[in-house]
Amino acid sequence: MHTILAIETSCDETAVAILRGNELLASEVASQREHEAYGGVVPEVASRNHLLHAPRLLDDAVKKAGIALKQVDAFAATSGPGLASSLMIGASIAKGLALGFSKPYLAINHLEGHLLSPFFVASASSRCATHGQDARATIEPNVSLIVSGGHTLLVEVRGVADYRVMGRTVDDAAGEAFDKVAKMLGLGYPGGPEVERRALSGNATRFEFPRSMLDSGDHNFSFSGLKTAVRYQLAKLGTISDETRGDLCASFQRAVVEVLVKKTLRAARQSKTKLVTVSGGVSCNRALRDQMSEACNRARVRLLTAVPDLCTDNAAMIAFAASLRFQAGFESELTQEIDPNLALA
Ligand code: KG4
Ligand code: ZN
């Protein structure tokens, strides 16, 4: 049974997790609220905060896990994609620990962390049967939708470390569109949860927003035109009431969800998979989860979503991916650099 310590610092969340076998011993996350004032992540502020938070989170995680660092079998960190100055902090700490304790280092792709995260829940729920063993979740072949603030991708997953990107956004990520629309409407950051809350009482059919690239014939997405359409609508309306704000949120969310659901199901059909997985921050969205679930039921395809705690950035998903890779015999060189544009496959 292996113990993995993982650090995630790709954007504005500092996170440390310790996974022993199938058991998540600790998962600490510090979210940076400082970026709220800017309506987006400021890289210099993010990396300074990672430096401030990481040592404390590391201490807390080790205490919570009730282990000593020398008991860790491998140290892992997110090595990309993400902000260079942020990635560097987590990767340097993990490499330093690996070097200091003469243990292997694993560089993990942030996107791999997200796309495997729905299986982590599956393995945790069967923990009783497998207690005392390594995280041995079977990664069934699936079509995976990763929807976050930085990424929107459809990936054909054949197994651990066996991925084929089917499509991606050609401009904004879905979560980025939520954040930008929230900013336009004077709502807080991150915008996704706030837009979702307002959408609950809004009329989703009041405004007809574009479903960009719905019929593009490929598996790519585009959300920049939708964001601009909301901006034009807002300019036309002038001062708006709270009711109209809710209608804008609901109509916008409906357009995003419709495109994500339809294109995911089309990709699943094309790859002939019987399993769809959804991960990343936007997969916290209830409307997306519900509509994806209905569409999968109709298509007789199973749906696996990450539990809410594992949707937004965290280190548990990085530890889980590292654990599966470690068991498969992967190990990274300490000379491996971080890569802000790291590709998935
Ligand atoms: O996965 P994540 O924490 O970071 C990245 O890897 O980008 O995702 C953060 C994104 C933000 O854009 C946030 O607005 C969005 O996920 N998000 C949501 C919801 N909760 C978080 N979007 C829509 N509805 C939500 N409930
Ligand atoms: Zn992420």
Count of domains for the chain? 2
**Is residue 65 situated within a structural domain?**
yes
The ligand 1 atom at the shortest distance from the C-alpha of residue 173 is 12
pLDDT at position 190: 84
Do 104 and 154 lie in one domain? The reply is no
| Same structural domain, 108 and 155 | no
Q: Is residue 133 in some structural domain? A: no
Distance CA(93)–CA(75), nearest Å, equals 9
Is 198 part of a structural domain of the chain? Answer: yes
262 and 321 share one domain: no
- Same domain for 162 and 297, yes or no, is yes
286: domain CATH number is: 3.30.420.40
Tens digit of pLDDT for each residue in 74-92?
A: 999 999 999 999 999 999 9
Identify whether 83 is part of a domain.
yes
Three-class DSSP category at 285: coil
Q: State whether 242 and 313 are in the same domain.
A: no
User: pLDDT tens digit string along 190-218?
Assistant: 899 999 999 999 999 999 999 999 999 99
Do residues 213 and 150 share a domain?
Answer: yes
32 vs 143, residue with greater confidence? 143
128: confidence class by pLDDT, cuts 50, 70, 90: very low
Q: Copy the structure tokens of residue 264.
A: 């995911």
Q: How far is the CA of 152 from the centre of ligand 1 (A)?
A: 11
pTM, entire model: 0.93
**What is the token pair recorded at 321?**
């991916």
Which one, of 262, 315, 306, lies nearest residue 280 by Cα? 306
Residues 274 and 202 in one domain: yes
* Ligand 1 atom closest to Cα of residue 312: 3
- pLDDT at position 123 is 55
Listed in sequence order, the residues at least 6 apart from 55 whose beta carbon sits closer than 8 Å to its beta carbon are: none
Same domain for 316 and 213, yes or no, is no
Give the residue among 160, 168, 178 at the shortest CA–CA distance from 226. 178
**Which residue owns the Cα nearest ligand 1 atom 23?**
192
Residues in contact with ligand 1 by the CB-under-6-Å rule are: 11, 148-150, 175, 178-179, 190-193, 196, 280-282, 284-285, 312-313
For residue 55, is pLDDT > 50?
yes
CA–CA separation, 227 and 180 (whole Å): 7
Give the integer Cα–Cα distance in Å for 79 and 94: 10
> What is the per-residue pLDDT for 149?
92
Report which residue type is found at 44: E
Q: Are 198 and 281 part of one and the same domain?
A: yes
Is 68 contained in some domain? Answer: yes
The Cα 158–Cα 145 span in angstroms is 14
Probe ligand 1: pick from 168, 284, 344, max atoms within 8 Å of CB?
A: 284
**Looking at ligand 1, which atom is closest to the CA of residue 148?**
8
Using a pLDDT cut of 70, give the percent of the chain over it. Answer: 93
Task: Give the E-state strand segments of the chain in sequence order.
Answer: 3-8, 13-20, 23-31, 74-80, 105-109, 142-147, 152-159, 162-168, 275-279, 302-305
* Residue 333 included in any domain: no
Q: Give the range of the structural domain holding residue 105, as residue numbers without chain letter.
A: 3-124+309-327
- Cα(340)–Cα(337) distance, integer angstroms: 10
Atom of ligand 1 nearest to the CA of 182: 14
- Residue 317 is predicted with a pLDDT of 97
> In this structure, are 53 and 104 located in the same domain?
yes
Q: Is residue 343 part of a domain?
A: no
Statement to judge: residues 98 and 208 lie in one domain = no
Residue range 282-330, pLDDT digits in tens: 999 999 999 999 999 999 999 999 998 899 999 999 999 999 999 999 9
Q: How far is the CA of 150 from the centre of ligand 2 (A)?
A: 7
Q: Is residue 188 part of a domain?
A: yes
Supply the pLDDT for residue 127. Answer: 39
- Of 135-149, 211-225, 324-338, least confident by mean pLDDT is 135-149
10 and 101 within one domain: yes
% of the chain beyond a pLDDT of 90:
86
